[in-house]
Structure 1
Amino acid sequence: MITMKKIISTYHNKKRRILWLIFLICFLYITGTLISICTYSRMDETCRSDVVIVLGAATYPNDVSPVYRERLNHGIDLYRQGYVEKMIVTGGTAEGNQHSDAYTAMQYVISRGIPKEDVLMEETSSITQENLENAKELMDQNDYRQALIVSDPLHMKRAMLLAEDAGIQAFSSPTPTTMYHSLKTKIPFAARELFYYIGYQWYRIFR
């Protein structure tokens, strides 16, 4: 005879198994996503394109941050090596700054020998998604079809997904050098990218 106690015990055992299964699925999903972000960071698709889009990072009142400098330097190298003839620098105006991040970035690349007429500014964004959506508008206005996307390696997987959703025919060109080179800096950056990448995937499902 099945007693109420046995029924309750069976119910709790099934509940525990289901919870463990959910935990395992979540663990495998998160781990797999993190591995894919790290693997993608080494993917370099650099090829001849119409323009390079340098994704924004912080700037100071009169200079770019070390993170943005690495990205801009790579964009400059791509221009000098003949991969592109135009650059799009991105970023709006942060609180406390007189100029936009894009304006400060433009001044930096001009000081490194890039002609002003070959630099376009996207000055209204505050996040990567806006960087790329606004850059796509600039591309359409100038009849550019292909773009190299430049950012830090661990940022590239999410950036390329956002570029695809923005309608950009994009190719990954991660910076060969980065400020996120030690475990102390890599781990927080990778964790942040994991959080935002998973969040954006869920956003795509329900938008």
Structure 2
Amino acid sequence: MDFLRREMMIRSNKPRIVTNVIRVVIVLFVLISLWLGYAWVQITSIPSTKALTRADVGIVLGAALWGDVPSPGLRERLDQSLREYRSGAFRYFIVSGGLDTTKSRPTEAEGMAKYLNDHGVSKSAILLENKATNTYENLLFSRQIMEEHKLQSAIIITHTYHGRRAMEMAESLSYIDPQLSLVESRVLKKVPNNLREILAYSKWTLNKLGIPLDI
């Protein structure tokens, strides 16, 4: 009798358990969908920044090299930095980026510096940050270079999809009134690029909350 009673209780509880599981799945789906929508809006809307004022440095955030030359996407950032430099927006470049892979020869920073040299920028105007492997390190190590050279203000140069995360990271690293100079890419595929940035922005947000996550 006890066995039969237990069996009946288990069977009667099964529909309730299944219902609760379905409810949890639905709630998680809704929450994830809401977050993805919010993250999409964040990265596709240009962060509000005041008009550029003259700064000490323009920090060019690294991206891939093709061999030993900047990829088309990275050239867009470098060309944007050249426009700002020639307009008098900043005095020095910081080009930031380490090795793409263990088999790479030049660092991203070295490839960027050569590109700038080839476009008429003096080597004395370029500071190299050769260690960074992600955006947070780009800004962290660039901040250290600024401190070493007693440089105070910075314009961060990157693509529009990347601007929101870059600005939030700069603010978290206590940059003084950081500014953005953003370029809309004509060579990078918009949808897959934005989807990758949603994952990166989600990771950054979790990290800010003290939840380490590698994706």
- Normalising by the residue count of structure 2, what TM-score does the alignment of the two structures yield? 0.83
Alignment pair present for 1:156 and 2:160: no
- Which residue number corresponds to residue 108 of structure 1? 115
Alignment pair present for 1:171 and 2:189: no
Q: CA deviation at 1:30?
A: 1.3
Q: Deviations over 1:17-64 (max 9, x none)?
A: 3432232122111111111111136x5543321111000011134421
Q: CA deviation at 1:177?
A: 4.4
Percent identical = 26
Q: Secondary structure at the match of 1:173?
A: strand
Larger CA deviation: 69-78 vs 18-27: 18-27
Q: Secondary structure at the match of 1:105?
A: helix
- Whichever residue aligns with residue 23 of structure 1, its letter is F
- Which residue number corresponds to residue 199 of structure 2? 195
Q: CA deviation at 1:96?
A: 3.2
- Which residue number corresponds to residue 21 of structure 1? 27
Equivalent positions of 1:8-87 (< 5 A) are: 9-10=15-16, 12-40=18-46, 43=48, 45=50, 46-87=52-93
User: Contact (CA 8 Å) 1:44, 1:173: kept in 2 or not?
Assistant: no
Cα 1:54–1:18 change in 2 (3 A) is same
User: Contact (CA 8 Å) 1:152, 1:178: kept in 2 or not?
Assistant: no
CA distance in 2, matches of 1:101, 1:195: 23
Cα 1:62–1:29 change in 2 (3 A) is closer
Two-structure CA RMSD over aligned residues (Å): 2.2
The runs of at least 4 consecutive aligned structure 1 residues that moved more than 6 Å come to: none
Note the residue ranges of structure 1 that are not aligned, 5 or more in a row: none
Q: CA deviation at 1:116?
A: 1.5
- Which residue number corresponds to residue 131 of structure 1? 138
Q: Deviations over 1:126-173 (max 9, x none)?
A: 211111111000111112222111111111111112222222231121
Find the structure with the greater CA-based Rg. 2
Note the residue ranges of structure 2 that are not aligned, 5 or more in a row: 1-7
Cα 1:13–1:60 change in 2 (3 A) is closer
Q: Secondary structure at the match of 1:126?
A: coil
Cα 1:176–1:203 change in 2 (3 A) is closer
* Number of residue pairs the alignment of both structures matches: 200
Cα 1:11–1:99 change in 2 (3 A) is closer
Larger CA deviation: 136-145 vs 159-168: 159-168
CA distance in 2, matches of 1:102, 1:44: 26
Cα 1:176–1:14 change in 2 (3 A) is closer
Q: Secondary structure at the match of 1:145?
A: coil
